[in-house]
Amino acid sequence: MPMNETYSLSAPSRDEVNGLDGYTLLEFGTAWCGHCRLAQPLLSNAMAERDLRHLKIEDGPGRPLGRSFRVKLWPTLILMRQGEEVGRVVRPTDMQVIKQLLSQADGATG
């Protein structure tokens, strides 16, 4: 699955995210966030050869999914597997940090 380029204004519920099969990368941020924009090429390169579900979700006050994960800074990348958080990276500035997170899903399907 290719990396999503646009933050979705509509987010799934926490129960829907928890019910996803296999690995999922959740990305919380906004299009206007400078840190988020700087991280996009790093994330794109890190995800280039991975077949990984990627949910790019616009976050902000009153957005329940981000609050359920206690997201405080953007971008926040959370790797999930079968409803469990496997790892997270907050405000990545180095592609290796993202690759290390994603390597936990290498060889996995879904």
Catalytic annotation present for 50: no
Residue among 17, 36, 47, 55 flagged as catalytic: 36
Catalytic annotation present for 33: yes
Residue among 33, 43, 57, 77 flagged as catalytic: 33
Distance CA 46, CA 71 (A): 22
Ranges of beta strands (E only) in 2-109 are 23-29, 53-58, 76-81, 84-90
Q: Which residues pair with 81 in a beta bridge?
A: 23, 84
Residues known to be catalytic: 33, 36
